[in-house]
Chain A
Amino acid sequence: GAVVSQHPSWVICKSGTSVKIECRSLDFQATTMFWYRQFPKQSLMLMATSNEGSKATYEQGVEKDKFLINHASLTLSTLTVTSAHPEDSSFYICSTGTNTEAFFGQGTRLTVV
Chain B
Amino acid sequence: DAKTTQPPSMDCAEGRAANLPCNHSTISGNEYVYWYRQIHSQGPQYIIHGLKNNETNEMASLIITEDRKSSTLILPHATLRDTAVYYCIVLSRGGGTSYGKLTFGQGTILTVHP
Q: Hey, which bits of chain A sit against chain B, CB under 8 A?
A: 1, 4, 6, 30-34, 36, 43-46, 49, 91, 93, 95-107, 109
Given contacts A32-B96, A99-B94, contact A44 B101 (CB under 8 A): no
B43/A105 in contact, CB under 8 A = yes
**Which residues of chain B come closer than 8 Å to A45, judged between CB atoms?**
104
B window 39-57: CB within 8 A of A: 41-46, 49
**Which residues of chain B come closer than 8 Å to A93, judged between CB atoms?**
43-44
Given contacts A43-B105, A44-B104, contact A106 B42 (CB under 8 A): yes
B41/A109 in contact, CB under 8 A = yes
Who on chain A is nearest to B45 by CB?
A104
Who on chain A is nearest to B103 by CB?
A46
- A sample of 10 inter-chain contacts (CB < 8 A) reads A30-B97, A32-B101, A45-B104, A46-B101, A93-B44, A95-B101, A97-B101, A98-B96, A99-B98, A102-B36
- Chain B binding surface SS class: loop
A103/B100 in contact, CB under 8 A = yes
Given contacts A99-B93, A100-B93, A102-B46, contact A91 B99 (CB under 8 A): no
Alpha-carbon separation in the docked complex, A91 to B103 (Å): 16
Alpha-carbon separation in the docked complex, A43 to B108 (Å): 11
Top 10 closest A-B pairs, CB basis?
Answer: A97-B100, A104-B43, A97-B99, A96-B100, A32-B97, A44-B104, A43-B104, A95-B100, A102-B100, A107-B43
Who on chain A is nearest to B92 by CB?
A99
